[in-house]
C-alpha cells in the first residue's frame, strides 16, 4: 500500500492453534524528504513506552473490563530506539481508552514494527534481531514456537541457528521438532533440513506423516528440501493428481502449475 511519501507492507504470521498468537509485521518504506513519523491510533489502557526497560517496546495494556482481555506489544525493529510519544485522542469514539502512539526519526529512514496481540495472562514474546536488516527471531510465550522472520525493503541474506534465507520476505517456524517454512518473496528459505528453493510464494510444512504445502503464481519449477529420510518411494499429490517420485539427496523438484495449488508428500 502506498501513501504519500511511503509504501506500507504488512505480513501476517498465523498459527493453527490458539496457544501461539497470530501477529503482524508492519514495514513502511519511506521516500519523502520530511522527518519520518509513524502514527498509530489504539484502543487500550494507557500505553507504556519502554515496557520492560526496552527502548523499542510499547505495551498496550488491556482495558480493565471482563470483555477486554487482550494485551498488545509494539516492538520496533527499525529504528531500535525511536522517539515515542503517547497522547489521548480528544472526543474519540473510544473515550478515555482512545490513545495516539506516535514515533519519530530522521528523514528517509524506514520503519519496521512487530504488532503482537496476546491474552493478558500470557507473558510477552522474546524478539531478538538477527545479523541482517529487518530479520529477527521471535520466541512465543512459553517457548512453544520459535519463528525466524525476514521483511526487508530489498533483497538480503540472513542466517542463524540452522535458518538461512535469501530474498525480501519469508518466515520459518520451529515447533515440537517440526518445521514450517514460507517463502513469500525470495529465492531460498530453509530451517534445519527443510526448505524451499525457487520463486515464491511457496510454503512447506512438516507433518507427522510427511509434508503439506501450497503455492501461488506463474508456472515454474521449485525445489523442496525434505531431509535425508525422504529420498525415494515418495507419493506426491498435487491438486488431486498422484505421482510416485524419488528425491535424490532429499531434494524434490516440483513443477507448480499457474495459479493457486496445494500438494502433499507422503510415503505409501
Nearest alpha carbon to residue 196 among 226, 162, 229, 216: 226
Tell me what the mean pLDDT of segment 101-116 comes to.
89
pLDDT at 4: 55
pLDDT at 42: 94
pLDDT in tens, 220-233: 999 999 999 999 99
- Count other Cβ atoms within 10 Å, centred on residue 102: 15
Question: What percent of the chain clears pLDDT 70, i.e. is strictly above it?
Answer: 97
pLDDT at 200: 87
- Domain covering 125-268 assigned CATH 2.60.40 in the classification: yes
State yes or no: pLDDT of 65 exceeds 70: yes
What is the residue-averaged pLDDT of the chain? 92
pLDDT at 211: 98
Q: What does the domain layout of the chain look like in residue ranges? A: 1-122, 125-268
Nearest alpha carbon to residue 255 among 210, 217, 209, 206: 217
Cell representation of residue 234: 515418495
- Domain covering 1-122 assigned CATH 3.90.1300.10 in the classification: no
3-state SS, residue 38: strand
Torsion of CA 168, 143, 84, 62, to 10 degrees: 120
pTM: 0.92
Amino acid at each position: 500500500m502506498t501513501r504519500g511519501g511511503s509504501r506500507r507492507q504488512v505480513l501476517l504470521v498465523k498459527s493453527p492453534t490458539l496457544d501461539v498468537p497470530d501477529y503482524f509485521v508492519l514495514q513502511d518504506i519511506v521516500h519523502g524528504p520530511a522527518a519520518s513519523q509513524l502514527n498509530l491510533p489504539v484502543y487500550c489502557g494507557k500505553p507504556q513506552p519502554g515496557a520492560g526497560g526496552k527502548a523499542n517496546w510499547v505495551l498496550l495494556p488491556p482495558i480493565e473490563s471482563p470483555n477486554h482481555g487482550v494485551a498488545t506489544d509494539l516492538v520496533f525493529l527499525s529504528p531500535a530506539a525511536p522517539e515515542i510519544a503517547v497522547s489521548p485522542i480528544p472526543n474519540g469514539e473510544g473515550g478515555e481508552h482512545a490513545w495516539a502512539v506516535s514515533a519519530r526519526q530522521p528523514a528517509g529512514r524506514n520503519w519496521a514494527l512487530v504488532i503482537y496481540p496476546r491474552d493478558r495472562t500470557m507473558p510477552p514474546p522474546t524478539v531478538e534481531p538477527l545479523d541482517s536488516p529487518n530479520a529477527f527471531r521471535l520466541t512465543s510465550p512459553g517457548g512453544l514456537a520459535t519463528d525466524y522472520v525476514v521483511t526487508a525493503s530489498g533483497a538480503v541474506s540472513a542466517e542463524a541457528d540452522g535458518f538461512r534465507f535469501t530474498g525480501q520476505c519469508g518466515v520459518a517456524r520451529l515447533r515440537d521438532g517440526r518445521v514450517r517454512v514460507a517463502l513469500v518473496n525470495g529465492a531460498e528459505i530453509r530451517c534445519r533440513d527443510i526448505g524451499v528453493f525457487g520463486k515464491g510464494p511457496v510454503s512447506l510444512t512438516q507433518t507427522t506423516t510427511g509434508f503439506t504445502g501450497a503455492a501461488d503464481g506463474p508456472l515454474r519449477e521449485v525445489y523442496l528440501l525434505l531431509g535425508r529420510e525422504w529420498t525415494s518411494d515418495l507419493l506426491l499429490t498435487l491438486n488431486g493428481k498422484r505421482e510416485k517420485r524419488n528425491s535424490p539427496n532429499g531434494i524434490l523438484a516440483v513443477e507448480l502449475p499457474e495459479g493457486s495449488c496445494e500438494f502433499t508428500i507422503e510415503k505409501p
